[in-house]
Amino acid sequence: MKETKVNVWLINTGWTGGAYGVGSRIKLKYTRAMITAAINGELGDLSGDNYHIHTVFGLAQVKHCPGVPDDILSQRQTWNDDEAFYKQAHKLADAFRANFEKFAEYANEEILAGGPPIINKP
């Protein structure tokens, strides 16, 4: 990926505005707009103007995407309950880390550093 300078995008095509049963599915037109913008190189350079670092997952999160309201791009902003959002986000990050343990022996430090950072929870 480094040699060919491939960009990799993680796109939320699932729930927004709350957990299952509270929130709703992201509209298909927004998913399509995010994919189109990624393919067309319309998401800008990796800078503070265009991205911020997700506080739980440590991922660069786009702030603006053509055809998508900015508030949809921040999962935390779509939830009406910050405490519930962070509880769910930490639960998911913990699940990622636990699942990856079975592969950790095959991963180098660079790959291990790509997982959700272990941070103090609220």
Q: Residue 53 belongs to a domain with what CATH number?
A: 3.90.228.20
The whole-angstrom distance between residue 1's C-alpha and the CA centroid of its chain comes to 19
- What pLDDT sits at residue 103? 92
- What pLDDT sits at residue 118? 72
- Residue 122 counted as domain residue: no
Distance CA 76, CA 88 (A): 11
Does the pTM exceed 0.75? yes
Overall domain count for the chain: 1
On the question of pLDDT at 7 being above 90, the answer is no
Range of the domain at 47: 15-112
107-117 pLDDT, tens digit each: 998 888 888 88
- Residue 97 counted as domain residue: yes
When pLDDT is cut at 50, 70 and 90, the band that residue 122 belongs to is low
When pLDDT is cut at 50, 70 and 90, the band that residue 120 belongs to is low
- What pLDDT sits at residue 111? 87
On the question of pLDDT at 28 being above 90, the answer is yes
Q: Can you read off the two tokens belonging to residue 100?
A: 């990856």
- What pLDDT sits at residue 84? 92
**With contact defined as beta carbons under 8 Å apart, do 18 and 79 qualify?**
yes
